[in-house]
Amino acid sequence: MTFGGIYMKKIVLSLVAIAIVAAGFIFFSRQQEEKKVVLGVSGQSAGMTKYVEQALKEKGYKLELSVAESTIASNEGLMDGSVDVNIMQHEAYMNQFNKDRGASLVKAGKPLFEQFIGVYSRKHKSLDELPDGAKVAIQNDASNIQRALRVLEQAKLIEVKQDIPKGETLTPLDVTSNPKNLEFVELGGGTLIESLDEVDIAVFCGLAAQKAGFKTEDALYKFEPKDLKANALILATKDGNQDKEAVKIIHDAFETKESAELVKEVSGGTWFPYTGD
């Protein structure tokens, strides 16, 4: 074999070796990507995932956070597959989303956290100070409107219908007694916080109150929900994903004592472990 032939053979072998290495790298990269798990969170709850990330890493998964401005945006990610699972909502909200969008989101495991729900104000120090015609800011989606009305009912500010047909939710039209002539101002989650200087009181839950600068002890009224399960925060995912290993790892990691303490610290006590059945 001539020197040129030997040289060409070495080049060919080198190219083959490079191709094999490249193929292996691509395969490894794809394997790594397949082990990636995308968890939908809000900006505030992103700091609650330390022990979830550790638990996933021990099983060969890489956690990626998808920080969404709204629960709707995160749920759309669940629908299109860009998000695997999220922790941003209670079951009633998810069910309403499914109804409105024709979606197939489901709860993964039992509820994880309860939320502190209360009535807050920057203008008044007690509900007794509310003037006639006071403006009340409430979140504008169906499940949260119903919850806000239940909060105000329990605070004895209003009375509402008790015989709501199955599958329907309370609206301000179902208020049967309103002694203070409260005016309900329905707003989006972000706008709700911005409205605090314009309204008399607002009904907040969980991290929204913290984002608005309130502590739990600032609440003029604390809601005690009769249905813990309906109001508790869940892991939501697309139907078919709820039994996947990574989803179960995330759920179990959030249930640990270490995670519970971290969540309480990050949320300022507005999230705490679920105590229902």
The pLDDT of residue 253: 97
- Residue among 230, 201, 262, 216 at smallest CA distance from 44: 262
The pLDDT of residue 1: 53
The pLDDT of residue 20: 45
CB 71 within 8 A of CB 220: no
Question: Who wins on pLDDT, 24 or 223?
Answer: 223
Residues near 72 by beta carbon (within 8 Å), at least 6 away in sequence: 97
Amino acid present at 163: D
pLDDT tens digits for 63-108?
A: 999 999 889 999 999 999 999 999 999 998 999 999 999 999 999 9
Residue 145 to residue 151: CA distance in whole angstroms: 10
- SS3 of residue 146 by DSSP: helix
Burial of 93 (0-12, 13-18, 19+ CB in 10 A): buried
> Which of these ranges, 22-31, 213-222, 246-255, 263-272, has the smallest mean pLDDT?
22-31
The pLDDT of residue 9: 52
DSSP letter, residue 217: G
Token pair for 238: 């697309």
- SS3 of residue 228 by DSSP: helix
The pLDDT of residue 84: 98
Question: What does the mean pLDDT of the chain come to?
Answer: 88
Domains and CATH numbers, the chain: 35-114+230-273 (3.40.190.10), 117-222 (3.40.190.10)
- Return the residue matching tokens 């709820």: 242
The pLDDT of residue 148: 95
Interval 241-260 mean pLDDT = 97
Residues near 275 by beta carbon (within 8 Å), at least 6 away in sequence: 114, 228
Q: What does pTM read for this prediction?
A: 0.80
pLDDT tens digits for 31-59?
A: 445 589 999 999 889 999 999 999 999 99
pLDDT tens digits for 193-216?
A: 899 999 999 999 888 889 899 999
Interval 167-174 mean pLDDT = 91
Residue 42 to residue 69: CA distance in whole angstroms: 7
- SS3 of residue 65 by DSSP: strand
pLDDT above 90 coverage of the chain, percent: 71
pLDDT > 50? residue 28: no
Residues near 170 by beta carbon (within 8 Å), at least 6 away in sequence: 145, 146, 149, 150, 160, 161, 164
The β-bridge partners of 115 are 271
- Residue among 67, 29, 36, 68 at smallest CA distance from 53: 36
Question: Who wins on pLDDT, 162 or 252?
Answer: 252
One-character DSSP codes across 69-125: SSHHHHHHHHHHTS-SEEEEEEHHHHHHHHHHHT--EEE-SS--EEE-EEEE-SS-S
